Amino acid sequence: MQIVELLRSMDIFQDLPEDRLQEIAALLEEQRVPAGTTLFREGDVGDSMLIVTAGRVRISTRDSAGRELTLAIFGDGEFFGETGVLTGGPRTADATAEVDSGVLVLRKDEFDEYLAQNPAVMRTMLKVISQRQMVANQRLVEDEDEETAGTKRGSGKLFAVFSPRGGSGKTLIATNLAVMLARAYPDRVALLDLSVVFGHASVYLGLQPTEGIAAIEPERLENLDRETLNKYAYLHSSSLRVYSGAVRPEEGEAVTGEHVKAVLELMRRQYLFVLVDLPSNFQEPTLAALELADKLILLMTPELSTMRDVREVVRLFGDTVRVPPNKQYYVLNQPYAAHGLTRDQFEGFLELQVSAELPYAGEAAYKSLAKGEPLAISQPGSPLVKGLDKIISEFTEGTGKPVVPAQAGQSRGLFGRLLTKKS
């Protein structure tokens, strides 16, 4: 995208004439920043506005306990720090390049000289920012009301992902769903990996946990508190909090149904959404999670053997495990390039409705696993991610207003992202 076109797509500049956009474009300095580079820190003087031309930049702060909180993630064509270039006030968050990125920098001192000669530009920018602030404040009030109501109800939503057999893409689906929710609802989403023998959720997310909930002593479960639980949380760049059942196979037996029940009940009070990556069995931890789940996403692959396995699972749900039909959500996933059984065949044989169908993700899925980077981040426009987005839309209907990441070329500032802090 040409720089002038990029500026025109930003709401603070979109009403300016072509000649003014050309003049502002001439003030921009292009920079390449390696992954991990800190662009500014909380407390720094706000001396510039930045526009992302490639890559991703994360805006974050820390709470009173020193935990990092992700406020926003900006991608191609998005901008941040606009108040700094106008007021020069201190930054109220950190900005860090998540991957190798490119940015355009508009420095305050140079822009001040330009505004002195063109006061109409200043008035236009202030008008747009003021309007965005009013809308953001109203939405923040609504979000607070919704959070308070959720607290009174006693729980967030818990979604469990299950498959009767390995190789179904269960962890791939669970981690991408979790990341997509976390990007839409920053710091309000958690993922618990209950595949306690060989769990891979953290690997898929590029994390290296050193402790799992297996380390929580049984005597502490009855009075489990957030401070204790949060010791086992690992922060993903999307703002997702990731918990492992166990980090070594020999620890798996220490995870009991009591562990799962205590942890999930507390997580539901702490987060808006909790996802659980279940093992392919019906042992005690699995049963405890199924009992608490609001939705069970049962993942199926298009094979005859899977069809028969799912039929047995459906029988167990009715006779033994007791998962009500309204909690069951069947998804046909295509983890292979070759086509197998169809959705109609599954529905006819099982006499149930397949709620969603996910396409083959191709080599992109394997590359994302090798890099520890979810498809939701590396390939946000892929067919699989679009399919997952439809599931999320269905599950989050009526939950409140998500913070939806803008697509490339769309303008979005910190106010427009409904943040409680400005950069």
- Res 263: pLDDT: 93
- In angstroms, the CA 391 to CA 378 distance is 19
- Res 146: pLDDT: 47
- Res 390: pLDDT: 92
Could you give the angle at the alpha carbon of 296 between the alpha carbons of 293 and 302, nearest 5°?
A: 165
333 DSSP β-pair partners: 358
Q: Among the residues of 53-164, which ranges form H helices?
A: 82-87, 108-117, 119-153
- Kindly state which CATH superfamily the domain 154-379 is placed in: P-loop containing nucleotide triphosphate hydrolases (3.40.50.300)
Record: fold of 3-134? Jelly Rolls (2.60.120)
- Res 141: pLDDT: 52
Query: pTM, whole model, 2 decimals?
Result: 0.64
Asked whether 310 and 341 are in contact (CB, 8 A), the reply is no
Count other Cβ atoms within 10 Å, centred on residue 210: 10
How far lies 418's CA from each of 40, 53, 78, 84, 138, in Å? 21, 22, 15, 17, 9
Domain definitions of the chain by residue range: 3-134, 154-379
- Res 402: pLDDT: 56
- Res 90: pLDDT: 87
Beta-carbon contacts of residue 393 (< 8 Å; ≥ 6 apart): none
Q: Provide the residue-wise pLDDT of the chain in tens; the chain has 423 residues.
A: 588 888 888 777 877 888 888 999 999 999 999 999 999 999 899 899 899 998 888 888 886 667 677 777 788 888 888 777 777 788 888 999 988 999 999 999 998 888 888 888 877 777 766 665 565 455 445 544 544 444 444 479 999 999 988 778 899 999 999 999 998 898 899 999 998 777 788 888 988 888 888 888 888 888 888 888 888 888 888 889 999 988 888 887 888 888 899 999 999 998 999 999 999 888 888 999 999 999 999 999 888 988 899 999 988 888 888 888 999 999 998 877 777 888 898 888 888 889 999 988 877 777 777 778 888 888 888 889 999 999 999 998 766 545 444 333 333 333 233 333 333
- Res 145: pLDDT: 53
- Beta-strand (E) ranges in 257-312? 273-277, 295-300
